[in-house]
Structure 1
Amino acid sequence: MKQQRDDVDEIIAAWRRERPDLDAAPLEVLSRVSRLARRLELARGSAFSEQGLEGWAFDVLSALRRAGDPYELSPGRLVQQTLVTSGTMTNRVDRLERHGLVERRPDPDDRRGVHVRLTPAGREVVDRAMAGLIAQERSMLADLSAAEQQTLAGLLRRLLLPLEPGGH
C-alpha cells in the first residue's frame, strides 16, 4: 500500500528540488510538529471559546484549578506557571475578577500580600473548558493506538526536555 502524502511531503520535495545541497530531514519532524501545534491551537481556541474564554484566561484558571483546594496561588506563582510578566498577570487577574471567575484574598502569612482564588463560577467554567479540550485532543489522536500515543509522547518529551529550563 502506498504511503499517504501530506503537505509537508510536498514542501520537503520542493526544497530538495530547489536546494539539493541542504539536508531537509529535520523538516520531516519539525514542520509536522509546527503544523500540528497550529491545529492544536485552533482546537484549543474552539474548546475555550465555547466557555467564553480566551487562551490566556484558561491558562490562569487552570493553574488555579490544578493547585487543588482551596484553588489559590500567589500572583508570583501564577506568573511562574503561565510565563508572563507580573504586570500582565495583574491585568489578567483584574479582568477575571471583573467576570467573577477569581477573587483576591489576603495572604494569611503576609499582610501585604494577596492570593488569587478561583471562585465556584471560575471552577465550573474551567472544568467545562478542560472537558472540551480533552475531547478535542482525544479526537486529534484518534488514529493512533494507545501504544503509539505513548511512544509519541515519550519521543516528544525526549525532544523537549533539553529545551526547557533545567533540561539536560
Structure 2
Amino acid sequence: MSRFQATEALLAAMARQHPQFPPQASAIVRMVKLLHKLTQDQGNELLRRYGLTYPEYNALMMLSASSDGVLSPSQLGDAIAEKSANITRLTTQLVDKQLIERAPSAQDRRMWRLRLTPKGQALIASFMPEISAQLAGYASALDAGEQAQLLSLLKRLLAGVEQSA
C-alpha cells in the first residue's frame, strides 16, 4: 500500500460528507505536497554530506545557471521562490561559507550582485554526479514522453494556481 492511499481514502470520505468538495483536485495538491516533502528530505540528506541545505543548493544552482554567472538578490529570490528576508539570510550563509561573493553593482551602488566563487563552482562539480543520479531516479518510472507530458500538465496546474490567487 502506498503512503498516499490513506490520503485518497480520507479525501473520498470528505467528498461523501461534502458533495461540493473536489477530491481529485485535492488529491493533486496533496500529491504535489508529498512529492515536495519527500524530494526535499532526500535532497537534504544527500546535500548534508556537502555541508549544504536544500535552499543553499537551489541558490548555488541558479547562480551557476545564470547567463553571466551573476544575479541580483531579487533575481535569485524569484528563481528559487524565496522571500527577500530569506534571500538575505541565505546569501549571508553562502558568503560565510565562501561559496558566493556579494558585491555592489557597477551601474547602481545600491544594488548587490551575487556570483559563485571558485570554491562554490568546485562544490557544485563535486555533488553534480550524485544530484543528477538522484533526479534521474525520481523520474525513472516515466519515459521521456511521459516526463514531457507531466511537465506540461504541471505548468498548466501552476497557471491555475496563480490565476486563483
- 1:50–1:129 contact (8 Å) kept in structure 2: no
**Structure possessing the higher relative contact order (Cα contacts under 8 Å, 6 or more residues apart):** 1
Structure 2, unaligned runs of 5 or more = none
Match in the other structure for 1:21: 17
Q: Which amino acid aligns with 1:121?
A: K
List aligned pairs for 1:12-161, cutoff 5 A: 12-16=8-12, 20-22=16-18, 24-69=23-68, 71-161=69-159
TM-score, scaled to structure 2: 0.78
Higher helix share goes to which structure? Answer: 2
Equivalent-residue separation in structure 2 for 1:42 and 1:30 (angstroms): 18
Q: CA RMSD in A?
A: 2.8
Identity %: 25
Q: Using the TM superposition, name which of 100-109 and 22-31 deviates more.
A: 22-31
How far apart are the structure 1 equivalents of 2:147 and 2:95?
38
User: Deviation string for 1:50-73 (max 9, x for gaps)?
Assistant: 32111221122122111133x122
SS in 1 for 2:17: coil
Q: CA deviation at 1:118?
A: 0.8
Change (3 A) 1:151 1:96: same
Deviation at 1:13, TM superposition (A): 3.0
Cα separation, 2, equivalents of 1:106 and 1:14: 53
Q: So what's the TM-score if we normalise by structure 1?
A: 0.76
Deviations 1:17-63 (A, max 9, x none): 57623453334433332222221112221232232111221122122
| Structure 1 contact 104–117 (Cα < 8 Å) conserved | yes
Which of the two has higher C-alpha Rg?
A: 1
Q: Which amino acid letter does the alignment assign opposite residue 76 of structure 1? A: S
Residue aligned with 1:10, SS: helix
Provide the secondary structure at the position in 2 that maps to 1:76.
helix
- How many residue pairs are counted as aligned between the two chains? 161
State the shift of 1:111 in Å: 3.6
